[in-house]
Amino acid sequence: MVTMTIIDLLKDRATRNADDLAFRFMGNGELDGPITDWTFSELYHQSAGVAEDLIEQGLAGSSVLLAFPPGLDFVKAFFGCLLAGARAVPVPLPNPRSKNPLGRILNTARACDASTVLTNQQLAEMVAPMAAGLPVCFQAVTDRVATDWAGPWAEMDDVAYLQFTSGSTGYPKGVAVRHANAVSNVRVMGQMLRLDSTKPAMVWAPHYHDLCLVGHVLGPIYYGYESTLMSPLDFLFKPVRWLRAMSHYKIANTACPNFGYEYSARRIKPEDCEGLDLGHWIVAGNGGEPVLPQTMEGFIKKFGPYGFQPQTFMPCYGMAESVLFVAGLKPLTRAPRILTLSTAELETHTVRILADNAPGGRHVVSCGSPGSGHRVIAVDPVTLTPSDSNQVGELWVQGPSVPGSYWGLPVESAATFEGRLADTNEGPFLRTGDLGFIADGEIYVTGRLKDMIIIAGRNHYPNDIELTVQQSGAPVRMGACVAISERINGVEELVIVAEVDERRLPAVAHSQLPGAKSIEAFWASAVKTVQGAVSQGHGLSLRSVVFVEPRSLEKTSSGKPRRRHYRKLFLKGGLAVLHEKRSPQTV
């Protein structure tokens, strides 16, 4: 058992591997663009400079928010907080499109009693006019370099940082991650991904998200591999940048949500792939949202000729409440397992496996086995007893990675982290809120407990309905719709809220000039297409379809739909509606 804290590991790495490359940041995502490289020694001394500055300000023992654009300033600020004994709190940048751009930062600061937000010089100056009179101070991270650091010691049980959940099911809450939890999860990650110092890694996920923070900021400190970071916006603007960097730097490990693989296969042109060599790619982690077999098939077909192998895909399961990883372990020589389940029986939470190409089936991808020392069980959420092997239940997790509390929220902590089986009182378990089952020791996730839509006594998984809508041919922006429900005249009715694909909008979409007739025909066709697909695919009558403005449906930092949030907005008329057809209500 490793008993070294994160800062112990950082100090050790800076001594034993002082001149080895730790981090590389691609300034614009291009190989010939600006590149920033730091060795482990440079990282340590830069971070120690931040720590000295924080201690001089009296911030040791407090929470410090980190709001940075992509780059290595965030990395040194994060480790600087840990060296100073301050709790690092990574947060997204202010959203300029929001009516209250500083709202999330202020709410987070309030939740963890933070008075300081570290950022870069440019953002600190930009926010200054808005931040006057606010209870938090935005300040640029120091450029100080400390060569003779001798700061406070940390214990394994000390809280290292607060990982605020992405808010898919409610108000964001800060998971109190202790050094022991983080180190344990990094060990689990290494077991799953077969990490060592010879296997460079890369990620384009946001640095404040646990996928980047654990896998690509903490991971190098533990294992000694080089970590290449890229801005998610640079990936989205030109996704081939990701694969060109993977090829050039001979990256062995990377991870992203299912969306990233689908987006790459769809957007990267064959002529852009010239010269790619992906044969050294060992693990392609896929997690954070449902893993779709068709996405993996499309990616393999597109990039197989350049060396990508089917067994490279490693679907994973995890969450901030377990630091990051829960499951994902599988043989590196085997492609992910995919089961075909009876869709009709899933509506009663019954698992019946069908032949691969059987009609009426739903494909569910295995998320592998739990890491060493960790346990996952499926539990009936009503009786709180273990589910039968052929029944879907709520997934409960035990293990040293589970922190056990949200910062300053004892009631919410008890509800989430102190699950106990009713028949044996065994526990505590982390109640994930995810539905799934275990087969042959591997985890299969089927949906979210609180997002389940129940119509006429049948259970419907919203992610299945959303996928049907996106594949219907309707002008829906990929990955940007939510399936929710509303109660009308005492009956639960399905509602689809979808962002329109602006590339398919007629030119007169926002005009009141002659042409309105063609717009009416456009919307009528779009609604009819969605209704037909849902009726055919799920046997549901869909009378409410709402098309909203592009990029108006924000996702969580994990890329998950905020269904409950947008249900509230729908019910109170707060959506950015372009067109809607609503189910009538009788009085």
501-534 confidence digits (pLDDT tens): 988 888 755 554 455 568 888 999 999 999 999 9
Q: Which residue has the higher pLDDT, 556 or 399?
A: 399
Please provide the average confidence, as pLDDT, over all residues in the chain.
Answer: 91
The amino acid sitting at 278 is: L
Q: What is the mean pLDDT of residues 235-242?
A: 97
Evaluate if residue 587 carries a pLDDT over 60: no
Taking Cα atoms as reference points, which of 1, 170, 155, 152 lies closest to residue 81? 152
Task: Walk me through the domains of the chain, giving residue ranges and CATH numbers.
Answer: 6-235 (3.40.50.12780), 338-448 (2.30.38.10), 455-581 (3.30.300.30)
Judged by average pLDDT, the poorest of 15-29, 290-304, 487-501 is 487-501
Taking Cα atoms as reference points, which of 261, 306, 278, 248 lies closest to residue 24? 248
Q: What is the CA radius of gyration of the chain?
A: 24
- pLDDT, one tens digit per residue, over 7-20 is 999 999 999 999 99
8 Å CB contact between 382 and 394: no
Evaluate if residue 98 carries a pLDDT over 90: no
pLDDT number for residue 300: 97
Per-residue pLDDT band at 541 (split at 50, 70, 90): confident
How many Å from the N-terminal Cα to the C-terminal Cα in the chain? 66
Per-residue pLDDT band at 559 (split at 50, 70, 90): low
List 376's β-bridge partners, or say none. Answer: 397
Q: What is the mean pLDDT of residues 19-46?
A: 97
SS (H, E, C) 192-223: HHCCCCCCCEEECCCCCCHHHHHHHHHHHHHH
- Residue 158, number of CB atoms within 10 A of its CB: 18
Say what the alpha-carbon torsion angle 458, 463, 467, 469 is, to the nearest 10 degrees.
Answer: 60
d(CA 197, CA 320): 25
Q: Which residue has the higher pLDDT, 558 or 135?
A: 135
Whole-structure pTM over 0.85, yes or no? yes
- pLDDT, one tens digit per residue, over 54-75 is 999 999 999 999 999 999 999 9
Q: What is the mean pLDDT of residues 561-577?
A: 87
